[in-house]
Copies of this chain bind each other. A is one copy, B any other.
Amino acid sequence: MYVTLTAENRPPRGLLTEHGVTAAGLPTAVRAGQHLYREGDTVERLYQVTRGVVRLTRMLEDGRRQVISFGYPGDIIGFPSDGRHHTDCDALVDATLFAYRRSALDSGDGDPALHRALLEAALREISAMQDHVMMLGRKSALERVASFLNVLTTCYGEDFDLGRRIELPMSRSDIADFLGLTTETVSRAFTTLRKSGVMSLDGAQTIVVHDPGALADMAAGDD
């Protein structure tokens, strides 16, 4: 989940296994709070999330944290650069993943469809990261929060009343670190969205978007 400008050009959510690619895969489970890998680790496998949500993070020396992305079912994570992981990855809630050998990306391991699917995923990742750069570089706090909620509800929410409902597995602090903000600013943006009637909260972790169109407008799309 790379939350970007518009919800329209999101990656296909199908699992590779649904495309008939089952070779070389290995089911893997991670409990909430457990790490799947850490920055600097040698990349042995790539993973496709099949259930749950994971979190990819980086830290500066002094402890400042940036959440690079959230991995939802369908997302492929763990791409190497110079053979190593450049983020930490841990699970926000219990998650299961499908593991592929790293060589599946390089050569396909004799499975051209898998090779191609992983390459496509890598290319989408570049674009997704560019979207994130655009958001952090040029959007206001409210626009960032609206963009975030817009993508999440559109892609992973369920219909509810006339709008959409979704449970957020990440804390305000995770959202803040993803959007380059503080928890207080995220909280205030939530309040603004609530008071303007765009959405409401059902507990702290579940949001109900009543006016998806207004939310999309506030997200300030790029095309």
Q: Which residues of A contact B (CB under 8 A)?
A: 5, 9, 39-40, 58-62, 64-66, 68, 79-82, 86-87, 105-106, 116, 119, 122-127, 129-130, 132-134, 136-139, 177-180, 220-223
Q: Which residues does chain B contribute within 8 Å of A5, judged by CB atoms?
A: 60
- Are A130 and B68 interface neighbours, CB within 8 A? yes
**Cα of A136 to Cα of B106 in the assembled complex, Å:** 31
Q: Which residues does chain B contribute within 8 Å of A116, judged by CB atoms?
A: 106
Q: Which residues does chain B contribute within 8 Å of A61, judged by CB atoms?
A: 220-223
**Cα of A68 to Cα of B130 in the assembled complex, Å:** 7
Q: Of B59, B81, B129, B178, which is within 8 A of A222 by CB?
A: B59
Q: Of B40, B60, B86, B130, which is within 8 A of A58 by CB?
A: B130
This protein's copies in its complex: 2
**Cα of A65 to Cα of B40 in the assembled complex, Å:** 33
Q: Of B59, B179, B220, which is within 8 A of A62 by CB?
A: B220
Q: Which residues does chain B contribute within 8 Å of A180, judged by CB atoms?
A: 136-138
Q: How far is the CB of A121 from chain B (nearest CB, A)?
A: 10
- Are B222 and A133 interface neighbours, CB within 8 A? no
Q: How far is the CB of A16 from chain B (nearest CB, A)?
A: 17
- Are B134 and A132 interface neighbours, CB within 8 A? no
Q: Which residue of B lies closest to A43 (CB)?
A: B123
- Are A66 and B134 interface neighbours, CB within 8 A? yes
Q: Which residues does chain B contribute within 8 Å of A136, judged by CB atoms?
A: 133, 136-137, 180
- Are A82 and B9 interface neighbours, CB within 8 A? yes
- Are A60 and B221 interface neighbours, CB within 8 A? yes
